Amino acid sequence: MKRAVKRALHGLGYDIHRIPRDSRQSPPIHLQEPPDIQPVWPLPRGANGPSDEQILKEFARYEFWHYAYSFEGGLAFPIRHSIPSPLANDPQRPLQRFAHFMPYLLQAHGGSLQGRRVLDIACNSGFWSIQCALLGAEVVGFDARPELIEQANLVKAIVGVSNVSFRVLDFWNMSAASLDGMFDIVLSLGVLYHLPDPLEALRLTRSMARQHLLLDTAVSRSLEPLIKLFWEEPVDISSASRSGVVAFPSKSGVELMLRHLGASKWEEIPLRNKNMPADYLGRARASWLVTV
Ligand SMILES: C[S@@+](CC[C@H](N)C(=O)[O-])C[C@H]1O[C@@H](n2cnc3c(N)ncnc32)[C@H](O)[C@@H]1O
């Protein structure tokens, strides 16, 4: 009977595989459902920041922007990518992602990031770094693209936060020595699948963290613990910084790698409502809170 069902499904293009029990086991964190938290949005404007005119002029210097920045007082800017993508072009996307995983991170830190040192890997123009700075953390953000670090510094100057710094750095050059020590919290958001070697990338990422790693990545939909390879060109401000192979692990692949690396606990952050981007709802993307 089992075989007949398998054969029938195979005829329809589906294959059933048993997932080894070990690859599914994750020492659970068992977080309680945290209270809702929204990002600070529109962003506040610091007292001594640039004027409207200067901000408009500075934003216009860059052709491409990954986030639709919006500031108190009404200044707002559109997303602009060189490759149109309905997912990446949705201005709600970072706000929905924030409401999805940041409550879990905050809950794990008693509801505040005050006094925490946070690393924002591949920070782009600084959306996450600035939010963490507004939550009281001391933040370092880095990205491989110099123009994105210029943008991040512009947003920082407008918001008027001093507890965040940005620098140009390639992921593979990240080290405690190059970033003045380790971090209580490491954000690996939207970058793992722009890199060629996820196990080494996770090892390096984890080595930067003292307490938590917040991991958010595109995943292969397979139920098996595997890694799918693609070729990526550096064609957009949201893509890999150089041409080459990039790797999409499946969810169980991510968890197997965390286990291999000796992470003490991890929990996939559950989807709590439907107000989320389609890739999360369609199981093509997932997030984990990892206790290192
Ligand atoms: C999809 S965006 C994610 C931005 C942000 N972390 C987020 O989740 O909203 C990917 C970012 O990774 C950066 N990036 C790609 N390859 C990198 C590398 N090797 N080193 C550092 N940054 C890289 C890109 O420049 C881009 O800003």
Q: Are 247 and 257 in contact (CB under 8 A)?
A: no
Give the number of C-alpha atoms closer than 13 A to the C-alpha of residue 90, restricted to the C-beta side: 13
Q: Please name the residue whose Cα sits nearest to atom 3 of ligand 1.
A: 190
The yes-or-no verdict on residue 230 having pLDDT over 90 is: yes
Per-residue pLDDT tens for 98-152? 999 999 999 999 999 999 999 999 999 999 999 999 999 999 999 999 999 999 9
Per-residue pLDDT tens for 184-224? 999 999 999 999 999 999 999 999 999 999 999 999 999 99
* Two structure tokens written together for 155: 């947003």
Phi–psi pair at 248, nearest 5 degrees: -110, 105
Q: Are 66 and 238 in contact (CB under 8 A)?
A: yes
Please report whether residue 14 resides in a domain.
no
The yes-or-no verdict on residue 14 having pLDDT over 70 is: no
Residue 167 CA, ligand 1 centroid: distance in Å? 13
- CA-CA distance, 282 to 272, in Å (whole number)? 14
Check pocket membership of 241 for ligand 1, CB cut-off 6 A.
yes
The H-or-E segment that residue 262 falls in is: none
Q: How many domains does the chain have?
A: 1
The yes-or-no verdict on residue 271 having pLDDT over 70 is: yes
The yes-or-no verdict on residue 26 having pLDDT over 80 is: no
DSSP string, 206-224: HHTEEEEEEEEEE-B--SS
Please report whether residue 230 resides in a domain.
yes
The yes-or-no verdict on residue 235 having pLDDT over 70 is: yes
| The predicted structure's pLDDT at residue 32 | 80
Check pocket membership of 246 for ligand 1, CB cut-off 6 A.
no
Question: β-pairing, 244-249 with 265-268?
Answer: unpaired
Residue 143 CA, ligand 1 centroid: distance in Å? 6
Q: Please name the residue whose Cα sits nearest to atom 10 of ligand 1.
A: 238
Q: Which atom from ligand 1 is nearest to the alpha carbon of 124?
A: 27
Please report whether residue 153 resides in a domain.
yes
| The predicted structure's pLDDT at residue 84 | 80
| The predicted structure's pLDDT at residue 24 | 46
Check pocket membership of 105 for ligand 1, CB cut-off 6 A.
no
* Two structure tokens written together for 48: 């001594």
Give 175 or 20, the one with higher predicted confidence: 175
Please report whether residue 182 resides in a domain.
yes
Please report whether residue 87 resides in a domain.
no
Mutate to test the pocket of ligand 1, among 155, 241, 279, 287 (most ligand atoms within 8 A of CB): 241
Cα separation values, 229 from 43, 171, 226, 252, Å: 37, 19, 10, 16
- CA-CA distance, 57 to 265, in Å (whole number)? 47
**Structural domain harbouring 197:** 101-291
Per-residue pLDDT tens for 42-96? 999 999 999 999 999 999 999 999 999 999 999 999 999 998 889 999 999 999 9
Confidence of residue 39 (pLDDT cuts 50, 70, 90): very high
Which of 49, 44, 69 is closest to 59 using CA atoms? 69
| The predicted structure's pLDDT at residue 3 | 65
- Give me the helix-helix angle, 93-108 and 127-134, nearest 10°: 40
Q: Are 237 and 180 in contact (CB under 8 A)?
A: no
Mutate to test the pocket of ligand 1, among 238, 243, 279, 280 (most ligand atoms within 8 A of CB): 238
Confidence of residue 21 (pLDDT cuts 50, 70, 90): very low
CATH number of the domain at 125, please. Answer: 3.40.50.150
* Two structure tokens written together for 291: 């206790």
Check pocket membership of 190 for ligand 1, CB cut-off 6 A.
yes
Residue 47 CA, ligand 1 centroid: distance in Å? 30
Cα separation values, 248 from 73, 219, 257, Å: 41, 5, 13
Average pLDDT score over the chain = 93
Please report whether residue 107 resides in a domain.
yes
Q: Are 203 and 233 in contact (CB under 8 A)?
A: no
Residue 266 CA, ligand 1 centroid: distance in Å? 23
Please report whether residue 9 resides in a domain.
no
| The predicted structure's pLDDT at residue 20 | 46
CB atoms within 10 A of CB 42: 14
